Amino acid sequence: MSQQSKQQPKQRETLIWAAAKLFRRQGYSGTGLRDILAASGAARGSLYHYFPDGKEEIGAAAVAAAGGLVTDTFAELAKQADSPADFLRRYTGMLAHWLEASKFRDGCPITMTLLETTPASAAITEAGQAVFADWLAVMAAMLARHDWPAARIPATATAIIAGLEGALMLARVLRSTQPIHDTTWALCVMLEMSDVDPGGA
């Protein structure tokens, strides 16, 4: 493989991650292709070479890549955790640290893009659906591994993801990690009360 061929996938990845960071911090509509090019250091021609359909195509790729990174983090922490509540405490501890380190500029790597573009963009909607399916699958597998009642697994997995997403939004707006700590406490109460009625599940 030539040196040029080796560089091509790297250039594509650089564009995707530059876009993902910008979308996360300033939104999809607030980010132009010139911003992505400037942040990535790539030549203008390379963006249209890898993403001939333009911003929407790079948006879908950014959601898939950033969402995949979260999936990997979930999966690794789930392996290490002694219980679903332990998993949640580990992950939200990381979230609180990341938010404070970014001065509350960073949140969920895909939420802002999805909120602005779905369901209008079929490509980005599809990418988001795939990411959420992966996240829910990791949560479901973790719950099953720790003998969570099968009938409660889908609703519990959804509650975990929804709780994390909502906590991140509140934390950014309030510029405080307290919503993350409060949500963690409430979810852990649920996860540690195995005799709770699942509400008809």
42 domain residue, yes or no: no
Report if residue 48 sits inside a domain.
no
pTM above the 0.85 mark?
yes
pLDDT in tens, 138-157: 999 999 999 999 999 999 99
Looking at residue 159, which CATH number applies to its domain? Answer: 1.10.357.10
Residue 194: pLDDT band with limits 50, 70, 90: low
Query: Is pLDDT above 50 for 184?
Result: yes
The total number of structural domains that make up the chain: 1
Which token pair is 181? 């700590």
Residue 115 lies in a domain: yes
pLDDT band of 1, cuts 50, 70, 90: very low
Identity of the residue numbered 77: L
Candidates 83, 176, 153, 22; CA nearest to 91 is 83
pLDDT at 5 over 50: no
Give the residue ranges of DSSP H helices in 27-121. Answer: 33-40, 44-50, 55-80, 84-101, 111-117
Cα 56 from Cα 117, distance rounded (Å): 9
Q: What is the C-alpha separation between 107 and 41, in angstroms, rounded?
A: 24
Query: 163 with 183: CB under 8 angstroms?
Result: yes
Give me 107's structure tokens.
């949140």
**What is the predicted pLDDT for the residue at 108?**
86
| Cβ atoms of 51 and 58 closer than 8 Å | yes
Per residue in 83-109, pLDDT (tens digit) is 999 999 999 999 999 999 999 988 788
* 62: Cα separation from own chain's centroid: 11
pLDDT digits (tens, 9 = 90+) for 22-61: 999 899 999 999 999 999 998 888 888 999 999 999 999 9
Res 150: pLDDT: 95
pLDDT band (50, 70, 90) for residue 170: very high
- How much is the pLDDT for 195? 46
Query: Where do we find the tokens 């910008």?
Result: 22
Contact 190, 177 (CB under 8 A): no
Whether 47 is covered by a domain: the verdict is: no
36, part of any domain? no
Domain span including residue 64: 56-191
CA-nearest of 88, 103, 87, 80 to 177 is 103
Residue 117 lies in a domain: yes
In a domain, 128, yes or no: yes
Contact 15, 51 (CB under 8 A): yes
Average predicted confidence (pLDDT) for the chain: 91
Domain assignment present for residue 131? The answer is yes
Residues 87/192, Cβ–Cβ less than 8 Å: no
| Amino acid symbol at 125 | T
